[in-house]
Structure 1
Amino acid sequence: MHNDRCSEQSSWDIIRQHKDYKATSPGNPLVNTRPEIILQQTQISGRFCLLIDVSGSMKNFIDDAKDALTTVIKTILPNESYVGIVSFSDNGHLRKRMTKITSESDRNSLADSLPVIAVGGTSIGAGLETCYQELLTLNNVTGSVIYLATDGKENKSPYTEEVLPKLTKKGIVIHTLAIGSSADKKLNNISKITGGSSYFYSSETVDSTSLVDALIEPFTESSKDRIIRIKTVHAVISTHQVFETNFVIDDTIGRDTIVQLTTHVLRDVNLTIKHSEMTFTKIGTAGDNSVIYVKIPGIAQIGNYDVFLSSTTNDISGTLSIFSKPVSSKQAVLQVNVLNTEPEIQYSAGLLFPLYAAVYKGLLPVTNATVMAVIENEIGDRFNTILKDNAIGADVSLNDGIYSCYILPNELSANGRLSIKVIAEGYSAKVVVEVTRSPGTKFTVKQYQQRRQHIYYNMVCSRRRFR
């Protein structure tokens, strides 16, 4: 590939021609040139502390955050895990001690402990300190996880820089969710230095699923029993109307398949899943808390499933999420991974931002898929862009399972944080399979009925003015 693209020139010849090399001085021989290696902190499965901002600025988001966190507690967090809940405003407040999840009753108790009132100032450090003290009640806190969700900037002590050293020393991972454009700019750095991930929810984008996406994403691989997130869609219907969607179960997944709806009011909501001659139904009651779901027993059969959502008494606006698990721990499954690792980009007229996503089944590339990125910014703008695996533009190699595109300057209408969700789907997709072959012959390609899969990614954009 290098010889084809560079006209048989050596790597060193190409480097010497580059403007960066020509503009670089010989450098100081006394400077340490050892590369800096950044490691993602290893998590210990099953030790989570949910940290929720309940300051006055959260009053417009607290109900949505409660609904989304209820989804995480009721269907995502693994059995046998320990979960605690802390809120913060002027001070940190322990709402639920570290609780081992062993039953549906444990999940309901945790969900009932989520905050519903927002008032006061913002002391992120106080919240982190409370989480830290509660995690210390466990024998070993290394690799434990704090998930911090906030919409504001800290204005009360203790501040994060006072608390973080003790957390990093203990190896505690902190994932952060920035809600809205006013959320503290320190959040990305908090996640970075603790080995966590940072996420963003605009709060201005109509019909967005990014709040549920962001809260679920870090927990999908929080146990050995990996959760495959098949689909998340926003559902809006009026009373007596029917919302319809569908999903595919292939031969690699189907265990513990869950279809769930996250919304405020669930009374008389009908959630029905149909496949072949089978029908599964859940009807919401006034006592249901933020989420209802249907769990397909055993291992779901391979094929297409139809989902129907309706209500006889209330309009519905919520997020429909579909999950499953591999049929076995050794099963290679379809994976969609965003390859961009830089959390921040600086835009200029001559600099385009490439976005890469790998679509693989195990270690084998998937070709002919339809891959799309849904990008939302701080002011509520949303646009979709298609990623291609065609060796054109941002894409380097044809049919290697790496789908690429450039995000163009005119597509980013504001500085600030971005949320990116990558969706892969299609029925004409193929898996490139290496088989026993003679020298010089090509790989064979196996037809593959591909299901839809989502993955969520967050970044910060600084867009300079173009002339």
Structure 2
Amino acid sequence: MASLTLRLAVLACVFICRTDVALTAQNVIQLQNNEYTDVLIAINRNIPEDQQIVDRLKEIFTEASEALYIATRSRAYIKQVKILIPNTWTRQPQYLPPGTATFDRANVRVDVQNPLYGDGPYVQQTGGCGVGGEYLHLTPRYVVDRPYGESNWGPYGKLVTHEWGHLRWGLFDEYGFDDPLGGSYPHFYVSTSMGIQPVRCSAYTAGSYQNPVTQSRCQVDPATGLPEADCRFIPNPNGNRATGSYMFMQFLPQVEEFCHGGQHLFSQGGQPNPLSSHNREAPNKQNALCNGQSAWDVMNKHQDFANGANPPREVVSTVPDFVLLQEKEPMMVLVLDTSGSMRVLEAQGDPSGGILFLMSDGQENELPDIATVTPQVLAKGIIIDTLAYKRSADPQIESLALLTGGKSYFYSGEQGDSTALNDAFTASVLSRDDRTGGEATIQLVSETKTLNTGENYYNELYIEKSEGRNAIFTFMWNGGVPPLIEIIAPNGTVIGQGDPSYHVMSDTIQVNVPGVAQPGKWSYNITIVDYYYQQVDILASCKGATPDSQPIKVTAQVSTISLNGSSLSESPALSIRASVTKGYLPVTGATVTAFIEKPPSEDVDELLLLDNGAGADVTKNDGVYSRHFLNFTAGGRYSVSVKVNNEQGEAASIVVTGTARRGHSAALSKDAEAFALDKNAVHSEPLDQFQRMAPGGVFELTDVPIGGLSRLDLGPPSRVNDLKVIRVSHDNLTVALSWTAVGDDLDQGGPAALTDLRFGRNFTELADDFEASSVVDDSQVLLGDLTSPSPPGTLETVVIRVPERGENVTFVFALRVCDTVGNCGQPSNIAAANLEYIPEPTTPPPTTPLSQPNKPNSNTLIIAVSVSCGVVAAVVAILAVLSVKHCCCKRKKRVSVTPVPDGIALESGQPPNQPLPKA
């Protein structure tokens, strides 16, 4: 290990003096005896000191604890909250050491606005149904300005309870919303039993339909059979009796619980409470991603409440205990094979918040062992990053990192030109932004090359215009005569031996580019002049062009650190995710590739990650690129790294001008005008060429069956969750559908074998018995092909003919995708199509502005419509296929559409079965 120790020492000299550490393991909230503890709130170091923020956070989470206790029917409340004060604020005697608390691990962040959402609170969600979010984002204005916050989002306790559903239980919104990046969900749908309805939960939420953009009456669009794009459902704040749901409109005074499926928990006199019954027909994100399950259906499967855990309990007080912590500059110690070496940290003072970089290449054979020292490490608040050096390293070290909030890395020592060792160490000391929310250091290049005498190696890298300050190129070799190094700037300037910025140290050459490096293509030449071959490590990094710049940032992670090899065929769902952002805004269209080093021979798989909202990816164009990994080869450790660039030239940063108002996950505002999106406020700005790399962590495959892993099919195709009706034609009896193609195995492999598309006239029948529903056969398919699915990630489109049309004729569709050996994925979300005749709209007179009180008859929407000859067909291609043109002339008519009346009795806990009256 001597040469390895020297190598790490050189890396320490290169990086530690100018950077902090990067940690990404989320703080773990505990729930025992109905009490949530260890809830971590952190304030960003760039937020100006303001004691009101701390005081208001205490008030907000006191209110949230009470609301949460009521919403869970006495099953959970917040008992303990830790608030991490930045080290840029004045030290106070009541502030305790931080322990393992860091800004990037916090469950709740207080930070500057995300431009997409303004001051709107939101939870960053990257996992699927039932998978908790990354963090809750609050802004200083939202926290401090109570009149502003309540006027926009309602009571603070109820808002935090809504966001807790995202953060803790992996719930999704039950309302429609406009996402300027493409992940929108509709505001209206057509019910097979009730006609046109607003997307809401429960169906008893009363209100009216209005267009807040034109301030006119809503009209029905004949191309979709639904109200026009800007039409919104405006809830009646005073006339509602609906008590659910928190994931719909938490600000309504009557809302006090989450929607339920009617089979458990919430009852009145032994009967399900209809006023919070789940509306599974509404095409919202909760239903789409959770397969129609209610919020409580999902919550009851979470460890918090599964199998009757944490049953209702009466408590005297729900007021939390608040603990104030303060950041301090971290100390870092490199430890080789001795788990008792925290005393190295204690020699420098209080070890709380210190970091051990622990490297081990074998099994434990001396005391104290990991199990013995872990309680002491946790008590002292020490963070441990671990590097398993060689496959013989004890498997417990990854668990130690996870428990203390550290990161895990693996280097087999047999990977030739692998960069795993360098990446592990540098990732633990780079990127101050990741740990404290401060300024980031960007790792541009990390590579290792073995070169022979006289051999030349040339490569290129790109520096983007938002970065380039403190640019450093580092070259390390394994002894002998220094290689010749030349670095060429975009303007042709050559930096080489003799240049003032060219420094030669022991087995290391470092070039510090003065000022801000020019944006564009940089290159470097390496020539070996020694008599023997040399292994050269190449590292390049920089910071933002200015301290206030927001350069492109990449973080990566795997969904789990351990998989059971004996049950891969039942649950092979390991996913790899990479987040690519500029500040809090996503970078779309980048090329993101995961590299997975696999046992036993250290082969490397390349896996293209996608941001298309399908398969392992939850939300389209949110800057989180995801994919399942299935190509397991043997038991042991798998190491993951991610590289990001713009080699296809399609990468773009999102730019927000003005106020976007609504994005894909910000809490719904009670302000009526915020129900509409300013479509001109968001646009994409093309990016120049760039590259990034980031380690993605380590996972281990255990309990591999005798005889090794089977090479049989590892799973069915993923479930499609974005099936949509994109156009309907009453005249042609056609419906156009679209969805994102999945793979033969989840979202992997080549195209699947076939698409099994079903349809019917009854939502419940299709939802409850997919296989008994009618199959769309080849004779109905006018455009597209259900027997030859497209490659994973491709947008699929089909146009089909339906058997009938007319008033109150609604068809529902769902599909599943099957692979080459007959395994079929779960049925998709359900999409509905309205096949009634809808004439072309006219320009209606304006309605009362939304800023004024609703008139007494505001619960009735009058839609003025008229039609002319030659109604436009849904899809032009259909006319060619059918060779038919329709010309329909009908009298102008007026259609009166009313929301479901509040107070109609439910049957068996289902939404009211009442068609919309027509005038």
Report the TM range for the smaller structure's normalisation: 0.7 to 0.9
Contact 2:401 2:407 in 1 (8 A): yes
The equivalent of 1:361 in structure 2 is 582
| Structure 1, 216-225 or 252-261: larger mean CA deviation | 216-225
Q: 2:679 aligns with which of 441, 444, 460?
A: 441
Deviations 1:337-376 (A, max 9, x none): 1254532234511433222211111111111111000111
CA shift digits 1:311-362 (9 cap, x unpaired): 1224232321111112333211101112545322345114332222111111
The C-alpha deviation readout for 1:161-209, integer Å capped at 9, x for no partner, is 3333333222121111001111011101221222221111122323211
Looking at structure 1, the residues matched to 487 and 451 of structure 2 have their Cα atoms a distance apart, in angstroms, of: 17
**Contact 1:266/1:291 (<8 A) preserved:** no
Match of 2:633 in 1: 413
The count of aligned residue pairs is 379
Letter in 2 for 1:161: A
Note the C-alpha offset of 1:7. 5.9
Q: Considering only CA atoms, is the larger Rg found in Structure 1 or Structure 2?
A: 2
Match for residue 306 of structure 1 among 523, 527, 531: 523
CA distance in 2, matches of 1:230, 1:25: 45
1:456 aligned to which of 669, 691, 695: 695
In the TM superposition, what is the alpha-carbon distance from 1:289 to its structure 2 partner?
Answer: 2.8
The two structures have a TM-score, normalised by structure 2, of 0.38
Post-superposition offset of 1:277: 3.3
Q: What displacement does 1:439 show? A: 4.1
For 1:31 and 1:183, locate their aligned partners in 2 and report how far apart those are by CA, in whole Å: 45
Residue 377 of structure 1 is matched in structure 2 by 598
Distance 2:692 2:459 in 1: 14
Match of 2:77 in 1: none
| Aligned counterpart, 2:569 | 349
- Aligned counterpart, 1:338: 556
Q: In the alignment, is the contact (CA less than 8 A) between 2:557 and 2:697 conserved in 1?
A: no
Answer yes or no: is the 8 Å Cα contact 1:246–1:306 preserved in 2: yes
In 2, distance between residues paired with 1:417 and 1:227?
Answer: 28
Give the whole-Å Cα distance in 2 for the aligned partners of 1:206 and 1:29.
Answer: 52
Q: Which amino acid aligns with 2:634?
A: A
Matched, 1:193 2:403: yes
Amino acid at match of 2:515: G
In structure 2, what residue type is equivalent to 1:428? Answer: E
| SS, match of residue 190 in structure 1 | helix
2:351 to 141, 151, 155: 141
User: Given residue 337 of structure 1, which amino acid in structure 2 is its aligned partner?
Assistant: T
- 1:169 counterpart SS class: helix
CA displacement at 1:440 relative to structure 2: 5.4
Matching residue's letter, 2:547 = S
The whole-number CA distance in structure 1 between the counterparts of 2:548 and 2:563 is 37
Q: Which of 318, 324, 330 is matched with 2:536 structurally?
A: 318
User: Structure 2 vs 1, CA of residues 44 and 147 (structure 1 numbering), >3 Å: closer, same or farther?
Assistant: farther
Please say if residues 267 and 288 of structure 1, whose CA atoms lie closer than 8 Å, have aligned partners that are also in contact. Answer: no
Distance in structure 1 (CA, Å) of the matches to 2:691 and 2:627: 20
C-alpha distance in 2 between matches for 1:25 and 1:282:
66
Deviates more, 1:444-453 or 1:155-164: 155-164
Measured at CA, do residues 163 and 394 of structure 1 come closer, stay the same or move farther in structure 2, by a change above 3 Å? Answer: closer
Report deviation, 1:26: 5.4
Offset of residue 234 of structure 1: 2.2
| In the alignment, structure 1 residue 51 sits paired with structure 2 residue 335 | yes
1:271 aligns with 2:485: yes
Q: Which structure 1 residue ranges, 5 or more long, are not aligned?
A: 33-40, 54-123
* CA distance in structure 1 between the partners assigned to 2:365 and 2:516 by the alignment: 50
Q: CA deviation at 1:135?
A: 2.1
Change (3 A) 1:163 1:459: same
CA RMSD of aligned residues (A): 3.1
> Which ranges in structure 2 are unaligned for 5 or more consecutive residues?
1-172, 177-184, 187-279, 314-324, 661-675, 713-919
Aligned to 2:332, the other structure's residue is in SS state strand
5 Å matches for 1:183-332?
183-221=393-431, 224=438, 226-275=440-489, 276-282=491-497, 288-313=505-530, 314-332=532-550
Q: What do the CA deviations read for 1:64-87 (whole angstroms, capped 9, x no partner)?
A: xxxxxxxxxxxxxxxxxxxxxxxx
Of 387, 398, 409 in structure 2, the residue corresponding to residue 177 of structure 1 is 387
The alpha-carbon distance between structure 1 residues 172 and 290, as it changes in their structure 2 partners (threshold 3 A), is: farther
Task: Indicate how the Cα distance of structure 1 residues 27 and 169 shifts in structure 2: closer, same or farther if over 3 A, else same.
Answer: closer
Check the 8 A contact 2:558/2:698 in 1, yes or no: no
The answer (yes or no) to whether the contact 1:181–1:378 under 8 Å persists in 2 is no
Deviates more, 1:417-426 or 1:168-177: 168-177
Equivalence for 1:398:
620
Deviation at 1:274, TM superposition (A): 0.4
Distance 1:215 1:252 in 2: 26
Deviations 1:422-458 (A, max 9, x none): 1100143111212237945263111111410000022
User: CA separation of 1:322/1:266 partners in 2, compared to 1, >3 Å: closer, same or farther?
Assistant: farther
